Amino acid sequence: LREPSVIQPVFYVMSEIASARIMKKSLVPSEAREARKENLESAQQDQRSSIVAAKRGIDWKALRSDLEDLVEEKGCHPILVRLSWHDAGTYCPKEQNGGPRGCMRFAESGEATYPCNAGLRIARDMLKQIKEKFNQVSNADLWAFAAVVAIKAAGGPTIPFRYGRSDAENVSESIPDGRLPDGDKDAEHLREIFHRMEFSDQEIVALSGAHTLGACHKDRSGFEGNWTEEPLKFDNSFFIDLFAKKWTEMTVEGSGNPQFKDDKGNMMLSTDLALFSDEKFRPFAEKYSKDQQTFFDDFAKAFQKLQELGYSDGQLRFI
């Protein structure tokens, strides 16, 4: 796990060690325990004060308002969600790297240049002015919060948000390409990607429901078209359409990528249809097609987990 954004000052740790040594020589056991308890409580109080001070440095209500104005003006809900997802979805607990840390802000190399992140410079550029206004917030926190605000503004669930993510110091912290899912693969590919981050099959299906927002663009991903008829509305239409419509395989002209289309021109990816065809994924997808509230509840939990990969409870605080 990364170092917390607000840590216990070193001098308190050293004070604890020094106090313990003195107590060992001069205090009876009960007095020593009480003194250590008082020192620890003092250190914890200082840490809480530091956290409060850090929180006061960011006007989260004003930041939310500016983000709501941005998505209303630009209709950029989907790409803000994609930015957060691609920042967080690189995490590997085994290697203890990747995850939400704003590494794509180094635009000329590293993760920002990977094919899977094509087009995300648009989202980063949209957020630059807001980042300059709220310069105390890390890029990783801003990108995560922007996605939370965008999902809610599109009619989706309220996703609990905690701040405290730290930004990568330089582009050398970029992880290797290949940790995000490819749209032309199957169910086992989804499991390979998401199980690495310790997501269950149910969470995989819930997170896939984010495809109710947005569209694919041939010049970015090699795929083309909206998933649903209302690409700026967050609901369970993705799952309803998955079961209700006939999906015909086609090849995207120019890229050669396989995808599927309905009679209105909307599309699904191979990984989307895997939620229908795979016997373990299908029950969850079917449940979400019939019960939007259950989908919202499960998605909110899974998306919060995604956005907090690599951080402990002690490193994050609710706004």
Taking only the tens place, the pLDDT of each residue in 154-187 is 999 999 999 999 999 999 999 999 999 999 999 9
Whether residue 207 is predicted with pLDDT greater than 50 in this model: the reply is: yes
The residues, any chain, with a CB within 8 Å of residue 259's CB and separated by 6 or more, are 183, 184, 216, 223, 224, 225, 249, 250, 251, 252, 267, 268, 269, 270
For residues 108-132, average pLDDT: 98
Q: What is the per-residue pLDDT for 34?
A: 59
Q: State the total domains in the chain.
A: 1
Catalytic residue among 86, 143, 211, 247: 86
Segment 210-255, tens digit of pLDDT: 999 999 999 999 999 999 999 999 999 999 999 999 999 999 999 9
Strand partners, 250: 259
Q: How many residues does the chain have?
A: 319
Q: Does 150 fall in a domain?
A: yes
pLDDT score at 119: 98
Task: Assess contact for 86 and 78: CB atoms under 8 A.
Answer: no
Using alpha carbons only, what angle is made at residue 233 by residues 199 and 224, rounded to the nearest 5 degrees? 75
Local confidence band at 41 (pLDDT 50, 70, 90 cut-offs): low
Q: What whole-number distance in Å separates Cα of residue 88 and Cα of residue 270?
A: 23
Q: In this predicted structure, what is the pLDDT of residue 57?
A: 87
The verdict on residue 11 lying in a domain is no
Could you tell me if residue 225 is inside a domain? Answer: yes
Q: Are 63 and 145 in contact (CB under 8 A)?
A: yes
Chain centroid to CA 307: how far?
3
85 labelled catalytic: no
- Report the percentage of the chain scoring pLDDT > 70: 82
Specify the range with the lowest mean pLDDT, choosing from 2-11, 36-45, 84-93, 304-313. Answer: 2-11
Here the tokens at position 292 are 């939007």
- For the cut 90, the answer to whether the pLDDT of residue 198 exceeds it is yes
Is the full-model pTM beyond 0.75? yes
The phi-psi region of residue 14 (left if phi > 0; otherwise alpha if psi is between -120 and 50; otherwise beta) is alpha
User: Which whole number is the average pLDDT over 264-291?
Assistant: 98
**Domain housing 146:** 60-318
| CATH (domain of 123) | 1.10.420.10
User: How many Cα neighbours within 13 Å face the side chain of 57?
Assistant: 13
Q: What pLDDT, in 10s, does the model give residues 225-237?
A: 999 999 999 999 9
Active-site entry in 77, 85, 143, 227: 227
Tell me if 34 is assigned to some domain: no
**So what's the pLDDT on residue 71?**
98
Domain presence at residue 12: no
Backbone angles phi, psi at 146, to 5 degrees: -60, -40
